[in-house]
């Protein structure tokens, strides 16, 4: 199958492209810098320009039968008025332009749009969130809600659509784990804020396997949580990471210190969600790394 991947130059996208190629698919990436992206990707991958917020012609999809949408402004930037506008616009208008191009192209049968567990809102509650749980009300939740609403419009064009709410993807090459490793390696890691907030995490290999399952199974429509079946609290996460590294993890960063340093964006760490991947488990998906200790052991070996 020919699969177009937006954000094919990113932390998740580059590995997803490799996995799709290994699985026998033909891959076309939609990125801001085609030459740079293709230099990091396997031979045979093609590309076209996609800038979220700008119109996209149907020819950019190059006859793709499936589209995976990963592109968007990083959310881990300062949430200034301008930063928030960029985050919201890149995701909402970017998805709108992509769906318009898919409708016009007429070749796309399957759409997998990747959102985030932030959909459920930042909370310190331990209440499990399944795909049926309502959205939250903070900034990230409203971005995810508007972004998913745009993605879901592909269904009106008869395109089978899955919206994926992904947890924190763990791999030393990028994302949360990459950011946490330096202080933890120095023995300066530990819980942040109350430590009771939940972290919904997923080993990158499981995230990639889940995305491939969804690309290849158009019968799986609607929302899917993509995070390990065993989320942990921030304190448990810090302890597991310290243990995996053989380093102490007893430091504590008080919430007000993080708020002073990062502003409103600190809520991404000080609050969390206890997310359960109910629909993927019901679909028979098997997590290779359901437990954090084994995931970290594998990632840090």
Ligand X SMILES: NC(=O)c1ccc[n+]([C@@H]2O[C@H](COP(=O)([O-])OP(=O)(O)OC[C@H]3O[C@@H](n4cnc5c(N)ncnc54)[C@H](OP(=O)(O)O)[C@@H]3O)[C@@H](O)[C@H]2O)c1
Should residue 9 be labelled a site residue for ligand X when binding is judged by CB under 6 A? yes
The piece of 2-10, 77-85, 126-134, 191-199 that touches ligand X (CB under 6 A) is 2-10
Q: Does 61 bind ligand X (CB under 6 A)?
A: no
Residue carrying the six token digits 């007000």:
256
Give the C-alpha separation, 253 to 188, whole Å.
10
Query: Which of 73, 100, 150, 236 is in the footprint of ligand X by CB under 6 A?
Result: 73
Q: Restricting to residues 84-143, name those near ligand X by CB under 6 A.
A: 90, 94, 114, 116
Give me 26's structure tokens: 């033909």
DSSP symbol at 190? E
Which single residue brings its beta carbon nearest to ligand X? 10
- Counting contacts by CB under 6 A, is residue 175 touching ligand X? yes
For the chain, what is the largest distance between any 2 Cα atoms, rounded to a whole number of angstroms? Answer: 56
Residue span binding ligand X (CB under 6 A) among the ranges 4-12, 134-142, 239-247, 261-269: 4-12
Indicate whether 72 belongs to the interface with ligand X (CB under 6 A). Answer: yes
Q: Give the Cα separation of 205 and 298 in Å (integer).
A: 11
Residue of the chain from 38, 56, 169, 214 that contacts ligand X (CB under 6 A):
169
Among 38, 52, 151, 209, binds ligand X (CB under 6 A): 52
| DSSP alpha helix (H) spans, the chain | 13-22, 34-39, 81-105, 139-152, 175-185, 204-216, 234-245, 255-262, 267-270, 278-282, 292-299
**Is 13 a residue that touches ligand X (CB under 6 A)?**
yes
- Asked if 38 is part of the footprint of ligand X (rule: CB under 6 A), the reply reads no
**Contact between 22 and 37 (Cβ < 8 Å):** no
3-class DSSP assignment, residue 274 = strand
Q: How far is the CB of 94 from ligand X (least distance, A)?
A: 6
Q: Is 236 helix (H, G, I), strand (E, B) or coil?
A: helix
* CA 58, 59, 62, 63 torsion-angle sign: positive
268 binds ligand X (CB under 6 A): no
Stretch that binds ligand X, among 7-15, 60-68, 133-141, 231-239 (CB under 6 A): 7-15
Applying CB under 6 A, the residues found at the interface with ligand X are 7, 9-13, 31-33, 50-52, 70-75, 90, 94, 114, 116, 166, 168-169, 174-175
């Amino acid at each position: 199958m020919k699969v177009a991947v937006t954000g094919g130059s990113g932390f998740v996208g580059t590995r997803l492209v490799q996995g799709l190629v290994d699985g026998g698919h033909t891959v076309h990436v939609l990125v801001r810098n085609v030459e740079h992206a293709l230099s990091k990707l396997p031979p045979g991958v093609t590309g076209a320009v996609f800038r979220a917020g700008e119109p996209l012609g149907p020819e950019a999809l190059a006859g793709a039968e499936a589209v995976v949408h990963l592109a968007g402004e990083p959310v881990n930037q300062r949430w200034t008025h301008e930063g928030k506008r960029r985050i919201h616009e890149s995701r909402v208008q970017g998805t709108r332009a992509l769906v318009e191009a898919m409708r016009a192209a007429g070749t796309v049968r399957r759409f997998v749009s990747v959102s985030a567990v932030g959909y459920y809102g930042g909370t310190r509650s331990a209440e499990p969130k399944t795909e049926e749980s309502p959205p939250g009300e903070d900034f990230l939740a409203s971005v995810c809600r508007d972004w998913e609403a745009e993605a879901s419009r592909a269904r009106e064009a008869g395109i089978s659509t899955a919206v994926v709410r992904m947890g924190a993807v763990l791999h030393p090459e990028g994302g949360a784990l990459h950011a946490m490793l330096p202080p933890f390696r120095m023995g300066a890691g530990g819980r942040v804020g109350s430590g009771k907030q939940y972290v919904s995490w997923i080993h990158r290999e499981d995230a990639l396997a889940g995305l491939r399952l969804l690309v290849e199974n158009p019968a799986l429509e609607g929302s899917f949580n993509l995070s390990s079946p065993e989320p942990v609290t921030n304190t448990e996460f810090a302890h597991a990471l310290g243990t995996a590294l053989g380093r102490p993890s007893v430091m504590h960063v008080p919430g007000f210190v993080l708020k002073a340093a990062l502003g409103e964006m600190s809520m991404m760490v000080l609050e969390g969600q206890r997310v359960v991947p109910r629909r993927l488990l019901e679909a028979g998906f098997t997590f290779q790394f359901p437990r954090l200790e084994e995931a970290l052991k594998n990632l840090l070996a």
